[in-house]
Amino acid sequence: MRSIWRTLDRGLARDIGLVCLADTLVGVSYGAITVSSGFPLWAPMVLSLLVFAGASQFMFVGIVASGGNPLAAVAAGLLVNARHVPFGFAVGDVFGRGRLARALGSHLMIDESVAFALAQRDADRRRAAYWACGIGLFVCWNVGVLVGAFAGTAIHDTDAFGLDAAFPAVLLALVLPSLRERAFRLPTLIGVVVALAAAPLLPAGLPVLLALVGVVAGVAAKEPKAAR
């Protein structure tokens, strides 16, 4: 594990630190929203430790708080997290060979850790970026949730503080550098169009899942060139 921290350069460590800071704020909003919606104090903390998936956690709380069935909320959360299946194929090489390492690596597999790993060219930097981001975010997210849960109704309207925008803003900042490469532009454009079209019609989280069709389109566009 010590080699992971040594592999990080100052710029990469700074970027990961900024993402951790942003996710801490989102965690605070999640903890506050959950407790103010009537959940017990321990609920957001347990969900954050065992699930560790912001979109699924927000969806679960939103469905149950609005009177929905908890089983339906769990099913919706699993559907949103289905995007982790292609993520696993993309970054599975950074987990290591041991069962414990692979289990822990899978638990830390979220959008940001995957994005940082895929942005690295070197295998050692991919591994270092993934684990540093995953561990950092796990700690910061849970600290934020703890603070937010105890704050309770102190932050009643998270929209007024702009905390709801922190998470998508971070993801956008991670994606923008990849758009310099032509191969990433078509899948990204298709994904954006699909997500925007589905957003008014589907619950939060599902449009992002549907946006993965852009990845399929990108792979299909490369196949004719490979056949030549």
Query: 182, 193, 194: which is closest to 218 by C-alpha?
Result: 182
Our count of domains for the chain comes to 2
Same domain? For 40 and 148 the reply is: yes
d(CA 192, CA 213): 10
- Please state the three-class secondary structure of 74-127 as a single string: HHHHHHHHHHHHHHHHHHHHHCCCCHHHHHHHHHCCCHHHHHHHHCCCCHHHHH
For residues 141 and 151, the model is more confident at 141
Same domain? For 78 and 164 the reply is: yes
Same domain? For 116 and 213 the reply is: no
Same domain? For 158 and 48 the reply is: yes
The one-letter amino acid at 220: A
**pLDDT score of 208 more than 90:** no
Question: 175: pLDDT confidence band, cut at 50, 70 and 90?
Answer: low
Query: 86, 49, 47: which is closest to 64 by C-alpha?
Result: 47
Same domain? For 115 and 222 the reply is: no
DSSP state of 159: H
Same domain? For 48 and 116 the reply is: yes
Same domain? For 102 and 204 the reply is: no
* Domain range enclosing 201: 181-228
Question: 155: pLDDT confidence band, cut at 50, 70 and 90?
Answer: low
Q: Which H or E run includes 53?
A: none
Same domain? For 40 and 116 the reply is: yes
Same domain? For 168 and 116 the reply is: yes
* C-alpha distances in Å from residue 133, one per residue of 97, 127, 151, 203: 20, 10, 26, 28
Query: 55, 30, 65, 56: which is closest to 45 by C-alpha?
Result: 30
For residues 123 and 227, the model is more confident at 123
Same domain? For 173 and 186 the reply is: no
